[in-house]
Amino acid sequence: MISEKMQNALNDQVNAEFHSAHLYLAMSSYLESIDLPGFAHWMRIQYQEEVSHAEKIFDYVIERDGRAVLQSFQAPPVEWNSVLDAFGAAYQHEQKVTGLINNLVDMALSEKDHAAHIFLQWFVNEQVEEEASVKAVVQQLKLLGDSKGGLFQIDRELGRRVFTPAVATE
């Protein structure tokens, strides 16, 4: 059985993951509005990943005989100054989420909740990938500068991204 403290912290993380999903969906809409469907598609896949992360934690709380409780969250922004601005914001957001996950790991250790600690390792590894993925796009955008051809090429490349659901038990 999960402790109330750990349950509440994981429910907060479910909320944070759903907020992340909405942020990326808002970014997708913004990118569609400036005629960059590949960038928008990348963000739509990011949205799906965040929903799957929230569901994974939600299911874990229930599996541990806890109560998964959904919460409200603040609406995300709807405008960014540029593609680089949107992806820079996404990178900063992923760094924030990494901090949240690290705090959960610290709590699991302090609570001596070994099951939660093991469960959270998947998210630790996932955050390394999440940060690296968005940082790579930020770096590409910085390198291309004002190149419209480069922007078009990156847009086409990002449009090929495929959603791969998280494996239920790892």
Provide the pLDDT for residue 168.
52
Give domain status of residue 166, yes or no.
Answer: no
pTM: 0.94
Percent of the chain with pLDDT over 70: 98
Give domain status of residue 170, yes or no.
Answer: no
Residues 84-109, mean pLDDT to the nearest whole number: 98
Q: How far apart are CA 137 and CA 133, in angstroms?
A: 7
CATH number for the domain harbouring residue 79: 1.20.1260.10
**Residue 145 carries which DSSP code?**
T
Digit-coded pLDDT (tens) for 34-51: 999 999 999 999 999 999
Average pLDDT value over all residues in the chain: 96
What the block records as the tokens of 107 is: 């709590």
CB distance 101 to 127 below 8 Å: yes
What the block records as the tokens of 128 is: 């390394």
Give domain status of residue 128, yes or no.
Answer: yes
Give domain status of residue 31, yes or no.
Answer: yes
Print the domain residue range for 52.
4-158
Q: How far apart are CA 30 and CA 33, in angstroms?
A: 5
Give domain status of residue 55, yes or no.
Answer: yes
Provide the pLDDT for residue 164.
87
The tally of domains found in the chain comes to: 1
Give domain status of residue 12, yes or no.
Answer: yes
Residues 60-70, mean pLDDT to the nearest whole number: 97
Give domain status of residue 60, yes or no.
Answer: yes
Give domain status of residue 74, yes or no.
Answer: yes
